[in-house]
Copies of this chain bind each other. A is one copy, B any other.
């Protein structure tokens, strides 16, 4: 009996789901002779395996219960304490009620969608924006409107008109070292954004995976800190405000742990915990124990410094190589941190077409920009990462890509 009637069984929601084009490309990009400037993968050579091994050993021998047993949905309490300290270094005074631990920042985005989005709701995103957020929120039936980005981040001068016209359910912002654009939002614009969200009572979802990876200049306070300062008394924790902040250990420790967190006003945090409970009960207690061990032993600053020292050289190598090898008419951003840099090709270029050619002839991979646009535009853009390979390889990759661009004739 031949039968395949599953198609009729799927929910409407499942028809909104898409697979990420990046993940498909990455499968190809893992072939050994390809130089990949595509994925946002940290360099595995920087994973602190020795420290982790010791921490796991200690946790298993001396604290097996909290390390391996069922835990509470909001996360291991001492670990949430450590996260509160970590957030205080980022400029905001909170306590454990403001926090929940998530299975990576991707889950934070999913839970936000679950909590806030009804089918047909409009979400305001930057143009371009992180494709994992688009993917997460499309599954909840979200529609998108966009706001432009320039070298100072979100163009907040457009914001009030958009809020009035579209009344979005929330604003999604990546203020630090934007993925994919590589730009950073200025302090002034952050203040404008927070003030406007406050006057319109609109939620901001702040995604900050790369904030600690700053290679030059001073840290700028996250939106959540500015918002908390405006809505709460001095010394008061984050009781009132409009920001849901998502952090992660993927870029400062290891992505395979799937460990992130949400910081939000207590009522929203409590509701997010409820949303998470039905989803996966709680995040791996072993992953929590490892990150907690890092915090407790004071190992995070050293680990971040190692990453900074390594990635800064790679960024510099990529910027040098771009200046040397890219043909005239191509422009790119100059990131002060993070993993990514954004390339704008001359008119008429299609980066998907270019990628196919580049993979074949030059054995270099990148991510076509169109994946980061909610409206199908962005064909003449692409995203490069400098973080995954040593400086010489980054340079070699840019050289090959520059050659491919120079030799490419748009159809």
Contact = CB atoms under 8 A, between A and B. Distances in A.
Contacts of A64: 44, 47, 49
A20 B277 CA distance: 8
A226 to B, nearest CB: 15
A224 B132 CA distance: 33
A5 B198 CA distance: 11
Contacts of A279: 106-107, 110, 136, 279
Interface stretch (A67-75, A144-152, A215-223, A343-351): A67-75
B11 A254 contact: no
Interface in A1-15: 1-7, 9-14
B73 A256 contact: no
A82 interface: no
A133 to B, nearest CB: 9
Interface stretch (A52-60, A302-310, A394-402): A52-60
> Do most interface residues of chain A lie in helix, strand or loop, or is the interface mixed?
helix
A259 to B, nearest CB: 8
B70 A9 contact: no
Contacts of A20: 277
Contact of A136 (B53, B132, B278): B278
A106 B9 CA distance: 21
Contacts of A285: 256, 258
Interface string A303-343: 00000000000000000000000000000000000000000
A262 to B, nearest CB: 13
A367 B20 CA distance: 42
Contacts of A265: 6
A73 B23 contact: yes
A231 interface: yes
A53 B57 CA distance: 6
Contacts of A143: none
A403 interface: no
B10 A115 contact: yes
Contact of A280 (B3, B14, B73, B106): B106
A276 to B, nearest CB: 10
Given A6-B268, A11-B114, A256 B71 contact: yes
A139 B114 contact: yes
Contacts of A169: 9
Q: Which 10 A-B pairs have the closest CB atoms?
A: A256-B285, A68-B254, A68-B256, A49-B60, A136-B278, A135-B278, A103-B280, A107-B280, A44-B65, A70-B255
